[in-house]
Amino acid sequence: MFKLFKKTIILFLLTIGIPIVLWVSGFFVFTASIYYMSEPKMIDSIDGAIVLTGGTNRVSKGLDLMADKKISNLLVSGVHKDVDIQDIMKLWGKKDGIPPCCITLGREADNTIGNAAEARKWVEFSGIKGVYLITANYHMPRALLEFNHKIPDIKIVPYPVKPENFSLRNPSFWRTDFIEYHKLLMTLLRIVAFPSETHPLPEVLKK
């Protein structure tokens, strides 16, 4: 009887206990990593930046880098079809004479996979060898995973942007954190199991 109980406990730990411990540990590591992310030191060899739309202050950071002459090319990925460069400059609110010729508005992407695909075309066309990837801190791990998978031959430097009121005391922090952690896990699983897939949910799983 005791041996059967012992085997049951061991089986439970192997099939349920260990995965739960790994999941919880991963969640806290993910939470700490996004919370303590900071802006990178400027690198001379970086000649462009890619901004992923969908959150506050992201586009402004990219335009600030151009205004400060830290980069010479900027891609804003995931722009709505009705938004033009004048609209973006108005929202930025500064007048530093950034040449519109060096800003590309990408309108094809509607998710992170699309952002990476759109960025790959831009990088290949522009001949850029290194970029800052600008997106929200909570989105950065998944974005880096997608971009390094899609564009492995260039240097990608994360440039995280912390959303307003995104603190540990805010319930929205934990809600966003929890959702994004599981999106990251699903992305990792998709890239490992279906490396050529271009949809968040592989077609084979929809059947």
Q: Where are the domains of the chain?
A: 2-35, 48-167
- Report how far apart the first and last C-alpha atoms of the chain are (Å, whole number): 45
Q: Tell me the whole-structure pTM to 2 decimals.
A: 0.88
Q: Which residues pair with 135 in a beta bridge?
A: 160
Per the listing, tokens 């000649």 go with: 47
SS3 of residue 136 by DSSP: strand
Angstrom distance (rounded) from CA 192 to CA 163:
30
- pLDDT digit of tens for each residue in the chain (207 aa)? 556 666 666 676 667 778 888 999 999 999 999 999 998 988 877 989 999 998 888 999 999 998 888 999 999 999 999 998 888 888 887 766 677 778 999 999 999 999 999 999 999 999 999 999 999 999 999 999 999 999 999 999 999 999 988 999 999 999 999 999 999 999 999 999 888 877 776 665 555
The stretches of the chain forming alpha helices (DSSP H) are: 2-12, 18-35, 58-67, 85-92, 112-126, 140-150, 171-193, 203-206
Fold classification of 48-167 (topology level): Rossmann fold (3.40.50)
Residue 31, token pair as written in the block:
């939470």
The Cβ of residue 140 has, within 10 Å, a number of other Cβ atoms equal to 21
